[in-house]
Amino acid sequence: MDIHEHQAKAILAEFGVPVPKGFVAFSPEQAAHAFRQLGGNNCVVKAQIHSGGRGAAGGVKLCKTEAEVRSFAATLLGKTLVTKQTGAGGKLVERLWVEEATDIAQEIYLGFVLDRKSERIMIVASGHGGMEIEDLAENDPDSLVRMVIDPAAGLVDYQARELAFRLGLKGSQVAQFATTLRACYRAYRDLDAMMVEINPLAITGAGDLVALDAKMSFDTNALYRRPQVEALRDPGQEDPRESSAHDNGLAYVGLEGDIGCIINGAGLAMATMDMIKLAGGEPANFLDIGGGASPARVVTAFRTVLTDPNVSVILVNIFAGINRCDWIAKGVVQAYEEVGLSLPVVVRLSGTNVEEGREIIRTSGLPLISADTLAEAARAAVRARPTPVAAE
Ligand code: GDP
Ligand code: MN
């Protein structure tokens, strides 16, 4: 789960990272008020969306007057900002962050990520941070400094100092950098984060360190024990298909294709998506309906899949172990009635109570397409699409 820059800054500040003073604004009037509260000096107005790359997309501006703040806020609010990271759909700007401007002498990149290879939290840093960091990571990956943290020892002081020296920091900057590193590490660990990123961590004209941007994302599987983090969720920034699935407790990931998938088990869902591709189709989503899926849950899964307007056929693939095929079949029939389904539906059932399940499908009188194997089901779904995609 992602959060906004201003929320990440508030969290990191609590742990001890220096951040500029600022205010959230939901209207040009509030932005102007923030400008006055900051003393009427130069300020930076920043679009709050769950994406980086805002600077290059026109979502960040240094403003010198209240009128400038007001007019930039008016253009930005309600606008969909498309950045390198948002995809073509962009993200709607519903709030701004107005903060005091900083005089920047140098921009450092600082990231904390989970390194799967070493199974540890890893720090990634560069003395050449800022908006071109992605180019740097691509063209000169060796210039990035990497360091893994031993979970038993935690981040130790000599590591912080070594990192500071490798970035070329001097004098009191070394201690300031160590403080920021420790704060980020604690925030990462204590809040079950997946990523903490400060880019840029600026060195000011006076030689001090301050975090001008902050990004945090969290492990959704740990949210049950982090209610204060979950409270920061902004559904307006999420894929609407995924928000509705999340609210219904379904594991759903939106994709680009048109074959809606309702499957039990993450592994089977992955295999089914592969088979769809092999058959020449594109899945519209990943959806794991989970074990013990009651007919009502199947109906909810149908509703979730149908929130995606691109879906032109639905493929139900169930290997029932804990589940029961007759429940699933009842759910499919019920979904037809309750949702007023008009799309072709391919159903492949296997496992517990498969005969009862198939009987329900057979005698339903509904235009359901039955398939025996996974490969057959995938091919049937591809064939059932109303608008076949031309072969590439
Ligand atoms: P991003 O493009 O989404 O990562 O947004 P950032 O918050 O990183 O802002 C983009 C760029 O704006 C930064 O790399 C800085 O160069 C610049 N910027 C952000 N805040 C300030 C500030 O307070 N003063 C100045 N001079 N530049 C800033
Ligand atoms: Mn940034």
99 annotated ligand binder: yes
CB distance 101 to ligand 1 below 6 Å? yes
- 337 assigned to active site: no
pLDDT the model gives residue 205 = 96
What number is the average pLDDT over the span 227-249? 86
Given a cut of 80, is residue 303 above it in pLDDT?
yes
Residues 161 and 255 in one domain: no
The tokens describing 301, both together, are 């899964």
- With the most atoms of ligand 1 within 8 angstroms of its CB, the residue from 48, 60, 62, 199 to mutate is 60
List the residue whose alpha carbon is closest to atom 8 of ligand 1. 213
Q: Which ligand 1 atom is the nearest neighbour of the CA of 5? A: 7
212 CA distance to ligand 1 middle (Å): 6
229 and 245 both lie in a single domain: no
| 131 Cβ closer than 6 Å to some ligand 1 atom | yes
Enclosing domain of residue 359: 238-384
pLDDT number for residue 155: 96
**Residue 138 designated active-site:** no
Give the closest residue (by CA) to ligand 1 atom 20: 212
Asked whether 214 lines ligand 1 (CB < 6 A), one says no
If you average pLDDT over residues 183-187, what whole number do you get? 98
pLDDT digit string (tens) for 19-47? 999 999 999 999 999 999 999 999 999 99
* 7-16, 32-41, 295-304: least confidently modelled range: 295-304
Q: Identify the CA nearest to 9 among candidates 97, 86, 111.
A: 97
Cβ atoms < 10 Å from Cβ of 168: 11
Position 177 scores a pLDDT of: 98
Ligand 1: residue whose CA is nearest its atom 25:
102
Q: What is the pTM of this model?
A: 0.79
pLDDT of residue 27: 98
In a domain, 44, yes or no: yes
**Residue 184 burial by Cβ neighbours in a 10 Å radius (0-12, 13-18, 19+):** buried
- 109 with 124: CB under 8 angstroms? yes
Alpha carbon distance 276, 283 (integer Å): 7
Q: Lowest mean pLDDT: which of 17-31, 98-112, 327-341? A: 327-341
Residue 388: what pLDDT? 52
Share of the chain above pLDDT 90, in %: 81
Do 191 and 208 lie in one domain? The reply is yes
170-174, 178-182, 248-252: range with lowest mean pLDDT: 248-252
The CA 367 to ligand 1 mean position distance, Å, reads 56
Amino acid at the residue 371: A
Number of structural domains found in the chain: 3
Same domain, 372 and 245: yes
Helix axes 266-278, 374-384, angle to 10 degrees: 60
Return the DSSP state at 390.
P
Q: What angle do CA 102, 104, 106 make, to 5 degrees?
A: 150
Residue 26 sits in the same domain as residue 89: yes
**Ligand 1 near 128 CB (within 6 A):** no
Q: Is residue 43 part of a domain?
A: yes
212, 215, 216, 237: which to mutate for ligand 1, most atoms within 8 A of CB?
Answer: 212
Q: What is the 3-state secondary structure (H, E, C) of 146-170?
A: EEEECCCCCCCHHHHHHHHHHCCCC
Which pLDDT score, from 0 to 100, does residue 157 have?
94
Write down the pLDDT at residue 389. 54
Q: Is 5 among the domain residues?
A: no
248 and 229 within one domain: no
Please tell me which residue in 5, 100, 197, 242 is annotated as part of the active site.
197
Residue at which a domain ends, from 101, 116, 135:
101
User: Are 111 and 227 found together in one domain?
Assistant: yes
pLDDT tens by residue, 335-392: 988 988 889 999 999 999 999 999 999 999 898 999 999 999 999 999 999 865 555 5
Domain contains 112: yes
270 has a pLDDT exceeding 80: yes
Q: Chain-wide mean pLDDT for the chain?
A: 93
176 and 47 in a common domain? no
State which of 237, 256, 271 marks the end of a domain: 237
Percent of the chain with pLDDT strictly greater than 70: 98
Q: Which residues have C-beta within 8 Å of that of residue 162, sequence separation ≥ 6?
A: 147
216 & 272 share domain = no
**pLDDT for the residue numbered 78:** 97
Each residue of 189-199: pLDDT tens digit?
A: 999 999 999 99
| pLDDT at residue 387 in the model | 63
